[in-house]
Amino acid sequence: MNVDDPAVFAILRRCRVARIATLSRSGRPSVNPLYFVYLNGRIWLGTSDWTLAARNVQADPRVSVLFEVERDPGPRRVLRISGRASVRTDRKGQRSYNRRVARKYVLTPGGILHYLAHLRLLRLMHFYHAQSAEKGQACIIEVTPEHVELLPTEPFG
C-alpha cells in the first residue's frame, strides 16, 4: 500500500490532526498532535524547532504517524504511516506550508466561523505564537513515507 492509494489519499485529504510518534536520542517515546498538509508524496507537519517532536526528529529520524478522519460518520478508520523525517526551517518551505495550512484550516466556512466565534481570544493567540517564536523558529517536520497501512477497523474505547 502506498500514499497514492485512493483509500489512503481519502484519509489524508480529510484528516485534520495527525499524531506523530518520535523517539529521543536516548530512546524515550513521545507523541504529539500536529496540523499537517500532504504534498507530493510527503507529509509536512508544522511545529517549532524547540518542541520535543522537532528535537526528537533531529536526534532520530524514524517516525510513526497516525491519521484518522475526525467526525467521520462511517466506521472508524486509522491510517498509519511510518517513515523517516527531517526538520526544515527554510523560508520557502515555511511560506508554502503557511499558505496550505491557511487554506486547509482557516479559509474554510468552518474555519472562518470558528475564528469569528473566538475573536476575544485572537490577541492571546497572537501572543502565544509570539512567545513560541521567542524560543525558536517555526519549522516543518517533513515525513517521507516508507510503510503505509490501514489499521483494521474495530470499535475502540
Partner 1 sequence: MKRVSRNIDLDSARDLLERVPRACLCFAREQGPQAEPVALVWQDGRYLAGLPLHADGQPESGQEVVLLIDEGVHFFDLRALYIRGRLGAASAATGVLSGHTWFEVIPFKTVAWDYGTLREVKDER
For the CB of residue 32, give the shortest distance to partner 1 in the complex, in Å. Answer: 8
Distance CA 12, CA 25 (A): 29
Q: How far apart are CA 113 and CA 27, in angstroms?
A: 42
Cell (9 digits) for 78: 486509522
Tell me how crowded residue 122 is: count the other CB atoms within 10 A of its CB.
Answer: 11
Closer Cβ to partner 1, 7 or 90, answer by number: 7
Q: Kindly tell me which of 20 and 37 has the beta carbon lying closer to partner 1.
A: 20
Residue ranges of the alpha helices (H) in 4-121?
Answer: 6-14, 52-59, 91-101, 109-117
What is the chain's alpha carbon radius of gyration, rounded to the nearest angstrom? 16
Residue 144 · residue 83 · CB < 8 Å? yes
Least gap, CB of 40 to partner 1 (angstroms): 23
Across the strands, what pairs with 21? 31, 64
Q: How far is the CB of 1 from partner 1 (least distance, A)?
A: 14
**Cβ of residue 114: shortest distance to partner 1, in angstroms?**
4
By beta-carbon proximity to partner 1, the closer residue of 92 and 119 is 119
> Closer CB to partner 1, residue 33 or residue 90?
33
The C-alpha cell that represents 93 in the structure block: 518551505
Site residues (CB under 8 A) for partner 1? 16-17, 19-23, 27-33, 60, 62-66, 68, 70-71, 78, 80, 82, 105, 110-111, 114-115, 118, 121, 124-125, 127-128, 131, 149, 151-152, 154-157
Tell me how far, at minimum, the Cβ of 15 lies from partner 1, in Å: 9
> Is the Cβ of residue 79 or residue 139 nearer to partner 1 in the bound state?
79
In DSSP terms, 154 is beta-bridged to none
